[in-house]
């Protein structure tokens, strides 16, 4: 059976020693009272909930899946899911970072990030039920009317109700401009919606008494394409003005998708048959309103793969220490055993360290992004808010695509450590691979994220935002450029930072002449950018580790093995993973011709 231990020490390291989040919060009146002890206590309790309540349901939930009663259109979740959700609500976890005006606890997003990473490690399928609700809360909080906020937000904040995002349709995919769902205005100011939606995560379930669907649809006079999309709040049960639950609305589950993974989450086909809804935001501006939820979801999807990378690593490491197979190439290591533990073999260590490096690098990036979100929303300095918003917009596609791609690499590597046993369901490793695979696809495939990064976030403003991140890199290089002990970490980042300017300019010029050049290079470009970002954070983590080791040695006290492990992992990352950037820049520069001039090859 799989194991899971919440990585509290590493979370505390990133928050308190690398990013110093409480120092940042001192400048934000809303979070000025948040201290280290408070953060640590919350994530410790969150880790207990994840490991003790929902982790034991992961394999059983995968095996049982969800079931649909086609007569009533009701969905039953796997055994134990409903009881676990009740404990989640009772513990106040849904309200962690929500607005106190609507019953939230008002804690920083960085705290919420850590709790959700652990929930995703423990049980991604279960975690998607409350996870989608948080996105619905964000969209409604930003764009809802006062009446909508009063009706829906307290229930979403408490977790008494859940929310969904109903975007795509069978013929759409990511191209939402093609959607056909209609919204007809009614005399009382409401709308009646008719259409079909697919791939709706947590679209129907038995965890709560009501579900608030945020639905994209077209008004009768809407222009074609994405400029003619509006957003509507459509509850499963109609809600009275006093907040009471009324009659069943005309929105229901017509079927459940049969999927590769996340079997414990109800991925629903949603039918709208004259469903009553209310307009959220302005007519024909629904996509802008929904992007609040979509961007939150993209960060959340990266967090899902981060969680799976961590739990897969923990299990592979434990197995590699215990499993004996062959002898070490450099001589017998376990003299009392007929063979050595497989952890002595170099390539097994490479697979383990790959997962560890991607987990710890992803954690640093994810927490940094949520700190940026806290600053964007709550910092009193307008320039800080603006800079933070631009940086998080730049980093969002990297979080979504780079971390999920890395999750695919890592979970597969960890399954490989188990050999044939990894392919067998009882060990749980193949489930981590299957569950992670969807993360590379939904909320905009990773190719879409790559096009967004290169085409919009970088070339769209002539690299201005990329240069802002470059300033962070330059500042670190200036701090540590003459420190010989930091050279192995700083030099690769400094070199790549300089190369990125030329690389980006070159792709921009080619794209100006032929837009397909951007499409051909975008995926490679995102991975290069991802390594630049990871390299920056690994260098910062090495910086802290070296400082702490030096302090211990000067004070003649034992060195904490945690810092030694961090340095060893940093060295592995820069030696074995970071050099991928050279190959990626070469393939990106190979151009679009070998892809587009292929009529015969793809005939």
In this structure, are residues 199 and 257 in contact, taking their beta carbons and an 8 Å threshold? yes
26, burial (CB in 10 Å: exposed 0-12, middle 13-18, buried 19+)? middle
Q: How far is CA 443 from CA 255, 281, 297, in A?
A: 21, 21, 7
- The Cα–Cα gap between 252 and 275 comes to 9
Q: What is d(CA 184, CA 190) in angstroms, rounded to the nearest whole number?
A: 8
CA distance 45 to 266: 27
Nearest to 366 by CA among 440, 305, 410: 305
For residue 560, give the DSSP letter. P
Q: Cβ(17)–Cβ(39) under 8 Å?
A: no
168 within 8 A of 39, measured Cβ to Cβ: no
Q: Within 13 Å, how many C-alpha atoms sit on residue 585's CB side?
A: 20
Which letter does DSSP use for residue 249 in this model? Answer: P
Cα 406 from Cα 408, distance rounded (Å): 5
Q: What is the spatial distance between Cα 567 and Cα 488, in angstroms, rounded to a whole number?
A: 11
Query: Could you tell me which of 298, 305, 268 has the C-alpha nearest to residue 437?
Result: 305
Task: Please state whether beta strands 230-235 and 267-280 pair in parallel, antiparallel, or not at all (unpaired).
Answer: antiparallel
Catalytic residue, candidates 443, 480, 517, 548: 443
Residue 343: closest CA among 317, 364, 362? 317
Query: 341 pairs with which residues across the strands?
Result: 324
Active site residue 443: yes
Query: How far apart are the C-alpha atoms of 51 and 122, rounded to whole Å?
Result: 6
Report the C-alpha gap between 399 and 412 in whole angstroms: 19
State the SS3 of 57-102: HHHHHHHHCCEEECCCCEEECCCCHHHHHHHHHHCCHHHCCCCHHH
> Contact at 8 Å (CB) between 42 and 107?
yes
User: Three-state secondary structure along 532-557?
Assistant: HHHHHHHHHHHHHHHHHHHHHHHCCC
* Mode of pairing for the β-strands spanning 267-280 and 251-256: antiparallel
| Residue 410 near residue 312, CB atoms below 8 Å | yes
Return all residues near 397 (Cβ < 8 A) that are at least 6 apart. Answer: 298, 449, 450, 452, 453, 457, 526
Distance between first and last Cα of the chain = 48
Return the C-alpha torsion angle 138, 144, 148, 151, nearest 10. Answer: 20
Tell me the two tokens of residue 156.
């979403």
Q: Give me the residue label for tokens 């280290």.
A: 36
Number of Cα atoms under 13 Å in the Cβ half of residue 242: 2
* Residue with tokens 């003005």, as numbered in its chain: 241
Report the catalytic residues. 443
């Amino acid at each position: 059976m799989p194991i899971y231990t919440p990585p509290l020490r590493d979370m505390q390291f990133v928050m308190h020693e690398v990013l110093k989040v409480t120092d940042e919060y001192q400048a934000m009146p809303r979070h000025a009272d948040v201290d280290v002890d408070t953060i640590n206590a919350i994530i410790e309790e969150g880790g207990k909930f994840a490991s003790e309540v929902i982790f034991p349901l992961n394999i059983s939930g995968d095996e049982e899946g969800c079931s649909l009663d086609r007569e009533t259109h009701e969905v039953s979740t796997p055994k134990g899911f409903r009881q676990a959700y009740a404990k989640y609500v009772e513990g106040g976890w849904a309200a962690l970072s929500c607005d106190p005006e609507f019953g939230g606890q008002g804690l920083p997003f960085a705290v919420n990030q850590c709790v959700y990473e652990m929930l995703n490690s423990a049980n991604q399928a279960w975690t998607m039920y409350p996870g989608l609700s948080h996105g619905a809360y964000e969209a409604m909080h930003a764009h809802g009317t006062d009446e909508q906020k009063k009706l829906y937000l307290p229930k979403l904040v408490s977790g008494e109700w859940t929310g969904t995002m109903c975007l795509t349709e069978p013929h759409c995919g990511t191209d939402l401009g093609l959607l056909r769902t209609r919204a007809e205005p009614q005399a009382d100011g409401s709308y009646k919606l008719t259409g079909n939606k697919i791939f709706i995560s947590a679209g129907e379930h038995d965890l709560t008494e009501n579900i608030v669907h945020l639905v994209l649809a077209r008004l009768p006079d809407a222009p074609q394409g994405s400029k003619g999309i509006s957003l509507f709040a459509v509850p499963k049960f109609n809600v009275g003005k006093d907040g009471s639950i009324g009659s069943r609305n005309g929105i229901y589950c017509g079927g459940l998708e049969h999927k590769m993974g996340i079997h414990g989450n109800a991925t629903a086909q949603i039918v709208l048959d004259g469903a009553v809804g209310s307009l959220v935001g302005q007519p024909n501006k629904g996509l802008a309103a929904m992007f609040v939820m979509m961007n939150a979801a993209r960060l959340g999807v990266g967090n899902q793969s981060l969680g799976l990378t961590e739990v897969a690593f923990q299990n592979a490491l434990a197995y590699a220490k215990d499993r004996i197979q062959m002898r070490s190439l450099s001589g017998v290591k376990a003299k009392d055993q007929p063979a050595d533990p497989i952890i002595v073999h170099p390539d097994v260590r490479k697979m383990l360290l790959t997962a560890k490096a991607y987990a710890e690098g992803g954690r640093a990036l994810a927490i940094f992004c949520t700190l940026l979100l806290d600053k964007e929303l709550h910092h009193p300095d307008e320039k800080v808010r603006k800079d933070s918003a631009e940086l998080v917009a730049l980093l969002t596609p990297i979080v979504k695509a780079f971390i999920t791609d890395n999750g695919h690499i890592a979970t597969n590597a960890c399954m490989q450590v188990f050999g044939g046993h990894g392919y067998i369901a009882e060990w749980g490793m193949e489930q981590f691979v299957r569950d992670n695979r969807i993360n590379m696809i939904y909320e905009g495939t990773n190719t879409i994220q790559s096009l967004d990064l290169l085409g919009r976030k970088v070339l769209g403003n002539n690299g201005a935002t990329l240069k802002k991140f470059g300033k962070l890199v330059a500042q670190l290089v200036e701090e540590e450029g003459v420190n010989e002990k930091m050279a192995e970490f700083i030099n690769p980042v400094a070199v790549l930072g300089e190369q990125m300017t030329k690389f980006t300019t070159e792709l921009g010029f080619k794209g100006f002449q032929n837009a397909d050049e951007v499409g051909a290079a975008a995926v490679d470009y995102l991975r290069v950018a991802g390594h630049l970002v990871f390299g920056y954070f690994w260098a910062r983590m090495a910086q802290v580790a070296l400082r702490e080791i030096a302090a211990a040695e000067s004070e003649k006290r034992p060195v904490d093995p945690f810092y030694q492990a961090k340095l060893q992992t940093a060295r592995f990352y820069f030696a074995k993973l970071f050099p991928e950037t050279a190959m990626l820049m070469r393939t990106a520069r190979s151009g679009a011709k070998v892809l587009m001039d292929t009529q015969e090859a793809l005939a």
